[in-house]
């Protein structure tokens, strides 16, 4: 990738859900580009619609990025096929959160979710949110069903961070757990991303036998009896197998 492309992408990727609008000073700090260089790139990106300057003088992503996002979303066949069954799961038990995750670089990205209702701990998972791939059931599934040499390389370069006291931070232990996940066909976690919560996740395979996404069911430990949680793996595998078959997967 050329240096020019790197600089343009650094500007575009500096916008987040928490910082959709940024001043030149903010962009300078986040991209480490000199202001003269930054202004030159902002002009070029503005002409092509990748960024726009609003009436307040700050910058935001432009219509070209929105169009590209819609094209990318249309390409997520897995999302289209998964949503009806996610809705069915959620309507069966509104105290569960149902979410759909894909790998996003060295992280994982939520592309669809149905938020839990009810009391207890409040936690939110929204489409567009990214989380570490090494923590939580969905992340473990995406790791476990990657090409294992690629998974090892990812765990070598990722910077582990303790989100909660239970967040895993040892690559070798994670690799050992990945073997268990592959044998079971699903992953389980407790409190690795949000304290007091649990999650089950299973892979969604495409027609080439590749795990394209991870479907997850999560809930609150304090309000969920252990014997009820035991029913969830079978339910999750039933739904994930159905989605995989709809995607053309011919495996077992």
- Enumerate the β-bridge partners of residue 61: 51
192 located within any domain = yes
Note the pTM of the prediction, 2 decimals.
0.71
What confidence tens digit (pLDDT) does each residue in 72-113 have? 665 568 888 999 999 998 888 778 899 999 988 888 989 899
CATH code: domain of residue 232 = 3.30.450.40
DSSP 208-247: TS-EEEEEEEEEEGGGS-HHHHTTHHHHHHHHHHHHHHHT
What confidence tens digit (pLDDT) does each residue in 168-181 have? 999 999 999 999 99
Angstrom distance (rounded) from CA 2 to CA 104: 21
252 located within any domain = no
Residues 174 and 62 in one domain: no
Residues 42 and 113 in one domain: no
């Amino acid at each position: 990738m050329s240096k020019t492309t790197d600089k343009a992408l650094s500007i575009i990727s500096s916008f987040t859900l928490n910082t959709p609008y940024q001043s030149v000073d903010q962009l300078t700090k986040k991209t480490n580009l000199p202001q003269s260089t930054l202004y030159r790139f902002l002009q070029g990106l503005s002409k092509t619609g990748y960024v726009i300057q609003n009436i307040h003088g700050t910058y935001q992503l432009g219509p070209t990025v929105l169009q590209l996002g819609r094209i990318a979303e249309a390409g997520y066949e897995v999302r289209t096929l998964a949503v009806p069954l996610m809705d069915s799961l959620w309507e069966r038990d509104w105290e569960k959160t149902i979410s759909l995750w894909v790998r996003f670089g060295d992280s994982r990205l939520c592309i669809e979710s149905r938020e839990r209702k009810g009391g207890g701990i409040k936690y939110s998972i929204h489409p567009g949110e990214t989380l570490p791939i090494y923590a939580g059931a969905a992340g473990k599934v995406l790791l476990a069903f990657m090409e294992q040499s690629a998974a090892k390389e990812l765990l070598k370069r990722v910077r582990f961070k303790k989100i909660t006291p239970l967040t895993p931070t040892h690559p070798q232990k994670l690799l050992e757990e990945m073997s268990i996940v592959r044998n079971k066909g699903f992953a389980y976690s407790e409190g690795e991303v949000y304290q007091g919560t649990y999650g089950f996740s299973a892979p969604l395979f495409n027609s080439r036998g590749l795990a394209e996404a991870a479907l997850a069911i999560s809930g609150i430990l304090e309000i969920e009896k252990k014997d009820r949680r035991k029913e969830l793996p079978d339910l999750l595998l039933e739904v994930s197998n159905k989605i995989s078959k709809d995607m053309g997967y011919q495996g077992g």
